[in-house]
Amino acid sequence: MNKSELVKKIADGAELSQAQAGKALNVLMDTVTEELAAGNRVELIGFGTFSVKHRAARTGRNPSTGQPIEIAAANVPSFKAGKNLKDVCNA
């Protein structure tokens, strides 16, 4: 499913126009992005939790030459599925 298909599904389910559903989805994505950028967590009970995790610097290998390279530390977005979502996926 891509974004436009998701917008159509939201519009049908919430009885909104596709423009309104698209705007609502964009606001949701922007809000989650802003909260993660600020270092906060976004918890959607039953669905899951979006958070930011710190990945330490490490040594990797260049796949074409085999030479070791340093990979910088980074903050990466993370998603942990909630119990309801896990249960539905394993049903």
pLDDT digits (tens, 9 = 90+) for 15-24: 999 999 999 9
Domain 41-91 has CATH 4.10.520.10: yes
Residue 54 confidence (pLDDT): 96
- Ranges of each domain in the chain: 1-40, 41-91
SS (H, E, C) the chain: CCHHHHHHHHHHHHCCCHHHHHHHHHHHHHHHHHHHHCCCCEEECCCEEEEEEEECCEEEECCCCCCEEEECCEEEEEEEECHHHHHHHCC
Average pLDDT taken over every residue of the chain: 96
Residue 91 confidence (pLDDT): 83
User: What pTM does this model have?
Assistant: 0.81
User: pLDDT of 31-48, one tens digit each?
Assistant: 999 999 999 999 999 899
Q: 64 is written with which tokens?
A: 């074409």
